[in-house]
Structure 1
Amino acid sequence: MGTARDLMIVAMDAATGRPVTQGELSLGLAGAEVIDLVGAEVVTLDGDRLVSRPAPPLDDPLLEHAVAALVRDAPYEPIEDWLWRRGRGLAEEYLTVLQEEGLVARPRASWLPFRSTGPAPVESPARQRARHRGATDEPVLAALATAIGARDEVPEDLPEPDDAVRAVLAAVVDAVTELGAVRRRRAIEDEAFANVWRAP
């Protein structure tokens, strides 16, 4: 539990030297939530689909929101669809909650989130835990941080996660790759459109 929160803190700590965009971060957070819910036995995987189970109370309002968002009827929802649906605006939702909890502070006169002048984690047990997991190359957090661009690579000698976690991590990597491709395609289309207007 706590993988999504730890990923948010790790990404924000890395933002000064390695900006992490909200799109990639949101997809990573949605994937981290699934991993947390699998760990809490609230979700199981049937192939690539998320099968919800009766949920005990979770001591995390963000994960409670994730549970409420689960599709509860067959044929259930593929992991990739969950990442895009749940991930929409998720980084901002985490930022808001962490600020309300006093775990993140936004400097005065800052209006651009996830920039060097933007919000940053404050010293707290939550930040210490996230830093420890990052510093010790905890496999799941390391893989998620790499997928969203908060670190360069995952060390090769890390233990393999179980099948469910591996499926979620693969879906996050695919979604982030697709997001990058969409951005590049739009940039090319925008440039082509601009060239039409600039042509004599």
Structure 2
Amino acid sequence: MSTAKDLFIIAMDPQPDRSVGQGDLSLALAGAELIDLLDARAAALDGDRIVPGEQPELHDELLAEAQTVLTRQPPYERVEDWLWRRGRDLSTAYQAALEEAGQLTRGRRGLLPFGTDRLELADTPARRQALGRREADEPVLAALASAVGIGGEDSVDEPRHDDEAVTTVLAIVNDAVMELEAVRQRRSIENAAFANVWRVP
């Protein structure tokens, strides 16, 4: 399993305090893919730009797809731009892939046969592996999870890792998630102001 799939599974695990937004998760999934590509030497960082590396055979379909869409001509793509481009609707792609693989199942909410379908994690080795990485507080997964509001807050402000390139990616993921939240808040304020205009007698 890839780091991105482990992250998606963790995000799907029932959270009593907070649900994870699809946009936040998509950005973090794109970051997780990039970290796995760095680990596989399929990419490297030059500052904050992604330089394509070797082209190893990747056995994860979505990770292999990520490898094929790397920008291969200079000037190479910035990590931030990669997150926004690759991250577009990425959580939906991971949901579909995990459903197809039997990692997610659809259960029914309520007793009636026409109750609303809901996605649930199947009890599989992949789920146990992902939750095991989370319980072990594996640094990369913990930092990505923290960026989208899962688990502790320790690694949100200053994500740290022994590998400088990984640290760079984690920090940029965190910045992108905060930027998305700022956009949400701005739109919420604008929408509220617009609604108030129509309430004026």
Q: TM (normalized to structure 1)?
A: 0.90
Q: How many residues align?
A: 192
Q: Conserved in 1, the CA contact under 8 Å of 2:27 and 2:176?
A: yes
Deviates more, 1:51-60 or 1:69-78: 51-60
Partner of 1:118: 118
1:161-199 deviation per Cα after TM superposition (whole angstroms, max 9, x unaligned)? 310100000000000000000000000000111111111
Deviates more, 1:15-24 or 1:67-76: 15-24
Gaps of 5+ in 1: 111-116
> Which runs of structure 2 are paired with 1:4-15 in the superposition (5 Å)?
4-15=4-15
Q: What is the root-mean-square deviation of aligned Cα atoms in Å?
A: 1.9
TM superposition shift of 1:68: 1.7
> Which runs of structure 2 are paired with 1:24-103 in the superposition (5 Å)?
24-103=24-103
TM superposition shift of 1:104: 0.8
The aligned amino acid for 2:185 is: R
Q: TM (normalized to structure 2)?
A: 0.90
SS at match of 2:145: helix
Q: Conserved in 1, the CA contact under 8 Å of 2:10 and 2:130?
A: yes
Q: 1: CA distance between counterparts of 2:199 and 2:189?
A: 15
Gaps of 5+ in 2: 111-116
Partner of 1:175: 176
TM superposition shift of 1:154: 3.7
TM superposition shift of 1:91: 0.2
Q: 2: CA distance between counterparts of 1:161 and 1:78?
A: 21
Q: 2: CA distance between counterparts of 1:27 and 1:134?
A: 19
Q: 2: CA distance between counterparts of 1:197 and 1:159?
A: 48
Q: 2: CA distance between counterparts of 1:15 and 1:161?
A: 29
Q: 1: CA distance between counterparts of 2:106 and 2:93?
A: 15
Partner of 1:114: none
Q: Conserved in 2, the CA contact under 8 Å of 1:13 and 1:121?
A: yes
- CA pair 153-40 structure 1, distance change in 2 beyond 3 A: same
Q: 1: CA distance between counterparts of 2:106 and 2:11?
A: 15
The aligned amino acid for 1:197 is: W
- CA pair 92-15 structure 1, distance change in 2 beyond 3 A: farther
TM superposition shift of 1:140: 0.5
Partner of 1:194: 195
- CA pair 185-171 structure 1, distance change in 2 beyond 3 A: same
